[in-house]
Amino acid sequence: MDFRMMIAKCACEAMEKAFPGAAIQAEDAAGMLETPPDPAMGDYALPCFKLSKALRKAPPMISDALKANIEAPFLERVESVKGYLNFFVDRAMYAKEVLLAAEQAGEKYGSGDEGSGKTVVIDYSSINIAKRFHIGHLSTTMIGNALYKIYKFLGYECVGVNHLGDWGTQFGKMISAYKRWGDRETVMKGGVDEMVKLYVRFTAEAKENPALDDEGRAWFKAIEDGNPEALEIFNWFKEVTLADANRVYDMLGVKFDSYAGESFYHDKTAGVVEDLKNAGLLKEDQGAQIVDLEEYGMPPMIFVRSDGATLYATRDLAAIKYRHETYNFDKCLYVVAYQQDLHFKQLFKTTELLGWDWAKGCEHVNFGMVSYEGQALSTREGRIVYLEDLLSQSVEKAEAIIEEKSPGLENKREVAKQIGIGAVVFFALFNGRIKDIDFTWDRALNFEGETGPYVMYTHARAGSVLRKAGECDCAPDFSALSDPEAQAVIKLIDAFPDTIRLAVSRSEPSLITRFSVELAKAFNKFYYECRILDDDMGARAARLCLTKIAKQTIYKALDLIGIKAPERM
Catalytic residue among 57, 134, 149, 521: 134
Rounded CA-CA distance 103/112 in Å is 16
Identify the bridge partners of residue 84 per DSSP, sorted by sequence position. 47, 81
3-class DSSP string for 343-386 = HHHHHHHHHHHCCCHHHHHEEEECCCCEEECCEECECCCCECCE
Residue 134 bears catalytic tag: yes
Nearest residue to 519 (alpha-carbon basis) of 558, 468, 482: 558
Contact 314, 269 (CB under 8 A): yes
Exactly one of 131, 324, 459, 521 is catalytic; name it: 131
How far apart CA 333 and CA 256 sit, in angstroms, is 14
Active site residue 459: no
Distance CA 512, CA 505 (A): 12
Q: CA-CA distance, 414 to 411, in Å (whole number)?
A: 5
Report d(CA 355, CA 172) in Å as an integer.
Answer: 37
Residue 131 known to be catalytic = yes
Q: H-type helices in 260-331, by residue range? A: 269-278, 312-327
Helix (H) or strand (E) holding 123: strand 119-123
Dihedral over alpha carbons 65, 69, 71, 76 (to 10 degrees): 20
Dihedral of the CA atoms 408, 410, 414, 419 (nearest 10)? -50
d(CA 452, CA 470): 28
Rg of the chain taking only CA atoms, in angstroms: 29
The strand pair at 331-335 and 301-304 is best described as unpaired
Q: Which residues pair with 283 in a beta bridge?
A: 290
Return d(Cα 394, Cα 388) in angstroms, integer. Answer: 10
Longest dimension (CA), the chain: 92
Catalytic hit among 137, 331, 417, 548? 137
User: Which residues participate in catalysis according to the annotation?
Assistant: 131, 134, 137
